[in-house]
């Protein structure tokens, strides 16, 4: 019926529905007008059988469920992914990787259920996802810790440069004993942000011995801050590797009568709820998570469509100055 109303063949209608570039604009307009007039909805199942595509993309979160729902980073990335895919033919499936059976997620991905996968927040055991890229289009939102292969595509911020800038900012404001609460050392963001802190101190000729480790949560930041204070070694500034850890650290500083920024200046990374609503609000490096989400989705769609894309895409960050320095 669509073909008859548009005055074209059924194969031409099929080419228009499947976004073939081999159709003239006037024919596309005629077919779309006929589709709208008739209320026609393309049969996705039939199209999938014909094209061998599901038009489904998986967003994989290799994290425990509690951390996923507590971390605003994931919400922002998902928003960016969803916003980009809303203008395409692809739908999004969210997979929180099974803690008891990690292979379950990989079996699903390799079972023909999706056309590609976006992988977020991976740890040192991410080799299996790197290997998955050999058989399925995969884009990592953040550098995998495992050795990247020729099929590895990454969208990330420069975490080394971000941490170095946040630390250098403290030094430029007259601070000389800069401690850090580093992130997990089985995650690329934790490793890279610690390296950035070390580089800034090294360039200034300052020892990098004031390190404690957290898990990117407020509680982890509080516990690390308590351990730092228990050392008894004076410090006048703190770079926390995430705003969540910084918010936890602020509470411990207050408990010990230390005023920010009078006694201790604080910088961090992430311009989220924790940074904006801390007391005082935190000077931070803004990594635009929504933009990152949209970019990893765009990169994956282009890979699926057979386009050539950059293997590494770096999203710019910016310093946001507030009252904690």
- How does pLDDT run across 255-289, given as a tens digit for each residue? 999 999 999 999 999 999 999 999 999 999 999 99
Integer Cα distance of 309 and 151 in angstroms:
11
Cβ partners under 8 Å of residue 171, min gap 6? 178, 200, 201, 204, 206, 237
Does residue 272 share a domain with residue 206? yes
In this prediction, residue 105 carries a pLDDT of 82
The answer to whether residue 306 is domain-embedded is yes
Could you give the number of structural domains in the chain?
Answer: 3
Cβ contacts of residue 64 below 8 Å, gap of 6+?
Answer: 99
User: Is the per-residue pLDDT at 239 higher than 60?
Assistant: yes
Whether pLDDT at 48 is above 50: no
- Give the confidence band of 104 by pLDDT, cuts at 50, 70, 90: confident
Quick check: 90 and 56 in contact, CB under 8 A?
yes
Same domain, 94 and 128: yes
* Cα 178 versus chain centre, distance: 27
Length of the chain: 325
Please indicate, yes or no, whether residues 208 and 223 belong to a single structural domain of this protein.
Answer: yes
The predicted-structure confidence for 197-222, as pLDDT tens digits, reads as follows 999 999 999 999 999 999 999 999 99
| pTM for this entry | 0.81
Greatest pairwise CA separation for the chain in angstroms = 84
Residue 318: which pLDDT band, with cuts at 50, 70 and 90?
very high
Q: 146 and 71 in one domain?
A: yes
Residue 51 lies in a domain: no
CB atoms within 10 A of CB 291: 16
**Is residue 18 pLDDT above 90, yes or no?**
no
Whole-number Å distance between alpha carbons of 52 and 76: 31
Distance CA(284)–CA(134), nearest Å, equals 37
Identify whether residues 17 and 80 lie together within a single domain. no
The verdict on residue 322 lying in a domain is no
> pLDDT tens across 139-160, in order?
999 888 876 667 789 999 999 9
Range of the domain at 195: 159-286
Residues 278 and 178 in one domain: yes
Partnered with residue 189 across adjacent β-strands are: none
36 burial type by CB count under 10 A (0-12 exposed, 13-18 middle, 19+ buried):
exposed
- In tens, the pLDDT along 158-209 reads 999 999 999 999 999 999 999 999 999 988 999 999 999 999 999 999 999 9
Which phi-psi region, left, alpha or beta, contains residue 121 (left: φ > 0; alpha: ψ -120 to 50)?
Answer: left
Is the same domain home to 197 and 106?
no
Place of tokens 């990454």: 154
Question: For position 85, which CATH number holds?
Answer: 3.40.50.2300
Task: Give residue 43's pLDDT.
Answer: 52
Residues 142 and 170 in one domain: no
173 with 272, same domain: the answer is: yes
Is 13:40 a contact under the CB 8 Å cutoff? no
Do 128 and 194 lie in one domain? The reply is no
Q: With 50 as the cut, is the pLDDT of residue 247 above it?
A: yes
Whether residues 166 and 260 share a domain: the answer is yes
- In terms of domains, do 173 and 279 share one? yes
On whether residue 48 sits in a domain, the answer given is: no
In this structure, what CATH number is given to the domain that contains residue 35? 1.10.260.40
On whether residue 186 sits in a domain, the answer given is yes
Does a structural domain hold residue 81? yes
């Amino acid at each position: 019926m669509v073909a008859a109303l548009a005055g074209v063949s059924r194969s031409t209608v099929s080419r228009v529905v499947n976004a073939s570039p081999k159709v003239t604009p006037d024919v596309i307009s005629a077919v779309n007008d006929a589709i709208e007039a008739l209320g026609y909805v393309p049969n996705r199942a039939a199209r999938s059988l014909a094209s061998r595509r599901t038009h489904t993309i998986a967003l994989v979160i290799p994290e425990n469920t509690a951390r996923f729902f507590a971390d605003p980073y994931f919400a922002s990335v998902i928003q960016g992914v969803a916003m980009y895919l809303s203008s395409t033919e692809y739908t999004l499936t969210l997979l929180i990787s099974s803690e008891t059976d990690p292979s379950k997620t990989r079996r699903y991905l390799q079972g023909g259920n999706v056309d590609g996968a976006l992988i977020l927040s991976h740890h040192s055991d991410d080799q299996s996802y790197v290997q998955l890229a050999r058989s399925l289009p995969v884009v990592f939102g953040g550098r995998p810790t495992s050795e990247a292969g020729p099929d590895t595509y990454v969208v990330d911020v420069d975490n080394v440069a971000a941490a170095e800038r946040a630390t250098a900012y403290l030094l430029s404001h007259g601070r000389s004993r800069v401690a850090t609460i580093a992130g997990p050392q089985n995650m690329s963001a934790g490793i890279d942000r610690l390296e950035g802190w070390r580089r800034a101190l090294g360039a200034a000729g300052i020892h990098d011995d004031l390190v404690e480790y957290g898990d990117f949560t407020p509680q982890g930041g509080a516990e690390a801050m308590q351990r730092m204070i228990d050392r008894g070694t004076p410090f006048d500034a703190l770079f926390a590797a995430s705003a969540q850890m910084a918010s936890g650290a602020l509470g411990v500083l207050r408990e010990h009568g230390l005023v920010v920024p009078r006694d201790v200046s604080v910088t961090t990374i992430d311009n989220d709820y924790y940074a904006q609503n801390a007391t005082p609000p935190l000077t931070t490096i803004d990594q635009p998570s929504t933009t990152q989400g949209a970019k990893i989705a765009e990169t994956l769609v282009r890979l699926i469509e057979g386009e050539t894309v950059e293997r590494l895409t770096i999203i710019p960050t910016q310093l946001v100055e507030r009252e904690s320095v």
